[in-house]
Chains A and B, each alone.
Chain A
Amino acid sequence: MTSEELLQIAEEANADREASDFEVNVCVALGCLSQHSDKLKDTLTAEAAAASPRTGKRCHVRGTGCMGLCAAGPLVRVGSAADAGAQTLYAGVREGDVKALIESLGGKPVERLTAHLDQYFRGQIPIVLENSGYIDPEKIDEYIGRDGYQALIKALTEMSPQTVIEQISKSGLRGRGGGGYPTGLKWSTVAKAVGAQKYVICNADEGDPGAFMDRSVLESDPQRVIEGMAIAGYAVGASKGYIYVRAEYPLAVTRMTSSLRDARRRGLLGNNICGTTFAFDIEIRLGAGAFVCGEETALIASIEGLRGQPRPRPPYPAVSGLWGSPTLINNVETFANVAPIIRKGAEWYASIGTEKSKGTKVFALTGKITNTGLVEIPMGMPLREIIFGIGGGVPNGRKFKAVQTGGPSGGCIPEEHLDLPISYEALIDVGSMMGSGGMIVMDDTSCMVNVARFFMEFCMTESCGKCIPCRAGTAQMYQLLTKICDGKASHADLDLLIDLCDVVKNTSLCGLGMTAPNPVLSTLRYFKHEYMEHIDHQHCRAGVCACGSKPLSELSQAEVPA
């Protein structure tokens, strides 16, 4: 495959696309699929074929990846095939709407189905998700038609591995899995490490409660991840890649498997890629349902066929990773950022975002929020704009209480910090972290002690059990939090909890244990009064906990918490 051949495929794909007068794009990613968008697509196809001889217009019905607003599924975008930007987005389309929808093609849009989502899409900058919802994820040619694999060919034929790494460093891209380690630095460490065999691993073991960014990327634009991994392989000198994806994502696995096959057929994986000496291939490994396998050393052990347990670092995987070889591990979203950086240049990428956090970040907005779904925003956007602007605020007239970011390693951010511009450092400063991108919005019906208990239970059941602070410490903290929720705890119990947080945070072996106390520490920092109400007055202001049966109005004056 040369760049001319690639351009030819792209032209053919786009000519195919424009051969139809209209196109109907139906989201068949997991969110809409759960509302039977696959059947809807079949009905649309049949209806379009039936209408075609009558109207004389050709209509192409396509199953695409995620269009973002999962709450309003199934989503369908229709319009002229030549101008994707001017298409109309319909939300909540049912089979009964199909006739009206097909009839409206070329005429006025169906008003009752039209999604008025200017607010949702305004402010978003799609880079990682630029192809999501526009291409059929199972057709490599459609990806190529949208500039796919140009970056790989550019890297292989015009750039040295060193220049590729320089571009990634200059772009300011940082690990999107949560830690925020500079990607260019990681790549150059692996490139410099000595070893006959090196590996590239894509960490797709997304496990944070409420997070589904990586799943969506794998389901909607799998070729993008493959391209990013191949470029990384070239840059660090690896010939073999693994995608470690959790078995709970069957659709992502199916699409990735067929995408790998298509990439091999097109000569974009395998030996002599693009006529160069570069060889690279990727295999899929399935996780067996352990959150801790998202930790890089545990993930490596799992790929090796061992028990998925972390080991002390150093040595870091960049020096001694998979089977003792230098190994580059990046998250799905990190790899998905690589191709646009190489294609459009580091300066372009670095122009987006804040001083230390560049580019965009995909967040999964969930919880008590009107617009549940995926958003991709430039770094530096204030939390308030994400939640109340893009997200549409808290539904049912309830009051916003906190937003949880960073999953079980993160923390809860209260209203007073909502004007905080999103960046790795700013989130850590307020006691949370970027994490992989889960963003759970909570209103006044959530009890913060109970939320802390939920995350502690998660950490307790997901602890691998190797080191004692995490194994027994999380279990003890969970018991103490349960005691507080039940209204049976004393001040001494709270002191013990705080002490255990300190011990577990500082003595655990891996990131899971080190960050397990974070949800407790951050809720204690901003919502200590809720802890005190549970302890001193057996009162849960949200009415969630077992002790909260007594409403505040029935408490005597002396008992009313300040």
Chain B
Amino acid sequence: MSAPVDVKTLVIDGVNVSGSAGQTVLEVARENNISIPTLCHLDGLSEVGACRMCLVEVKNSPKLFPSCVLKVEEGMEVTTASDRLKHYRQTILELFFAERNHICSVCVANGHCELQSTAQSQGLTHVRLPYRNPKLDVDASHERFVLDHNRCILCTRCVRVCAEIEGAHVWDIMGRGIDSMLIADLHQPWGESSCTRCGKCVQVCPTGALSEKSKFGAEHPKHPEFLPYLNMMREGQ
């Protein structure tokens, strides 16, 4: 006899839903077609809770919780959309846009960018904060791919996919705070690094920070959906 499944019932945005113990609020919400915006989360990768877009309110708690790591509990009452959350999400998006140089019209990912589409879905019309306009490099040393730091939002999806799925751990973060920077190996040019040229990082990158050479805009849709399938096949073995 198989082990009994521990089912939790909870309320998300007034809808009665159920999930099994260990599932996150984000998973259960998406199963029930309740959309919660995310940027650092990606199905198939570990969670870091860094982008703060998926923050939700839980009844009787003054704190906000990132739904990507919040486990479902019996009787929990979750609100995924409120004026307060909308304001926080918009401000966080503003912080992203003002942090580096996100100029959609000249970006390789224009039209296929998760930062762009999230800004649209969250109704962000303008940025109140001053743009920081940092001078950042573009690393085109790799024969197939390009790294453009100007578009990077430091979501670390590439770091995680390279370490957890590909097993190469080429990518990492250097420095701290506002000076944090994505680096290959120990800060080598990407083309001279231990990169296996698998291209997984390019597929999971939500913006135009990692792209294939000589592809642009409409030619450059990304396909991160291979990950859950890959994990499923691996687990099946």
Interface, chain A (partner B; CB < 8 A): 290, 292, 307, 311-312, 314, 460-476, 479, 496, 499-500, 503, 506-509
Q: Which of B96, B132, B172 makes the CB contact (< 8 A) with A468?
A: B96
Q: How far does the alpha carbon of A265 sit from the alpha carbon of B156 in the complex, in Å?
A: 47
Q: How far does the alpha carbon of A460 sit from the alpha carbon of B51 in the complex, in Å?
A: 17
**Besides the contacts A463-B177, A468-B96, A468-B153, what 8 more A-B pairs have beta carbons closer than 8 Å?**
A461-B177, A465-B178, A467-B52, A468-B154, A469-B92, A473-B95, A479-B130, A506-B88
Interface, chain B (partner A; CB < 8 A): 47-52, 55, 64, 66, 69, 71, 87-88, 91-92, 95-96, 98-99, 128-130, 132, 153-154, 172-173, 175-180
| Least CB distance, A132 to chain B, in whole angstroms | 35
Inter-subunit contact A471/B178 (CB<8 Å): yes
Given A496-B129, A506-B64, A468:B88 Cβ within 8 A: no
Inter-subunit contact B88/A472 (CB<8 Å): no
Inter-subunit contact B49/A509 (CB<8 Å): yes
Residues of A within 8 A of B128 (CB): 496
Among A290, A464, A474, which residue has the most Cβ atoms of chain B within 10 A? A464
Given A290-B176, A476-B129, A469:B52 Cβ within 8 A: yes
| Least CB distance, B73 to chain A, in whole angstroms | 11
Inter-subunit contact B180/A471 (CB<8 Å): yes
Residues of B within 8 A of A506 (CB): 64, 88
Q: Which of B49, B87, B98 makes the CB contact (< 8 A) with A476?
A: B98
Q: How far does the alpha carbon of A174 sit from the alpha carbon of B128 in the complex, in Å?
A: 42
* Nearest-CB residue, chain A, relative to B129: A476
* Nearest-CB residue, chain A, relative to B130: A479
Inter-subunit contact B92/A507 (CB<8 Å): yes
Inter-subunit contact A507/B99 (CB<8 Å): no
| Least CB distance, B153 to chain A, in whole angstroms | 8
Inter-subunit contact A462/B177 (CB<8 Å): yes
* Nearest-CB residue, chain A, relative to B178: A475
Given A503-B91, A506-B88, A465:B177 Cβ within 8 A: yes
Residues of B within 8 A of A307 (CB): 172-173
Residues of B within 8 A of A462 (CB): 176-177
Residues of A within 8 A of B52 (CB): 467-469, 507-509
Q: List 10 A-B contacts (CB under 8 A).
A: A312-B69, A462-B176, A467-B51, A468-B52, A468-B92, A471-B99, A472-B96, A476-B98, A507-B64, A507-B88
Q: How far does the alpha carbon of A471 sit from the alpha carbon of B100 in the complex, in Å?
A: 12
Inter-subunit contact B154/A503 (CB<8 Å): no
| Least CB distance, B131 to chain A, in whole angstroms | 10
Residues of B within 8 A of A475 (CB): 99, 132, 177-178
* Nearest-CB residue, chain B, relative to A503: B91
* Nearest-CB residue, chain B, relative to A476: B129
| Least CB distance, A378 to chain B, in whole angstroms | 31
* Nearest-CB residue, chain A, relative to B55: A507
Inter-subunit contact A476/B176 (CB<8 Å): no
| Least CB distance, A14 to chain B, in whole angstroms | 50
Q: How far does the alpha carbon of A232 sit from the alpha carbon of B47 in the complex, in Å?
A: 32
| Least CB distance, A3 to chain B, in whole angstroms | 47
Inter-subunit contact A465/B55 (CB<8 Å): no
The 4 closest A-B pairs by CB, nearest first: A465-B180, A463-B177, A312-B49, A472-B95
Inter-subunit contact A471/B177 (CB<8 Å): yes
* Nearest-CB residue, chain A, relative to B156: A466
Inter-subunit contact A464/B177 (CB<8 Å): yes
Q: Which of B50, B71, B96, B99 makes the CB contact (< 8 A) with A509?
A: B50
Among A462, A463, A466, which residue has the most Cβ atoms of chain B within 10 A? A466
Residues of B within 8 A of A500 (CB): 91, 129
| Least CB distance, B50 to chain A, in whole angstroms | 5
Q: How far does the alpha carbon of A470 sit from the alpha carbon of B178 in the complex, in Å?
A: 9
Residues of A within 8 A of B154 (CB): 465, 468, 471
Inter-subunit contact A472/B55 (CB<8 Å): no
Inter-subunit contact B176/A468 (CB<8 Å): no
Residues of A within 8 A of B173 (CB): 307, 465
Residues of B within 8 A of A314 (CB): 71
| Least CB distance, A516 to chain B, in whole angstroms | 11
Residues of B within 8 A of A508 (CB): 52
Residues of A within 8 A of B55 (CB): 507
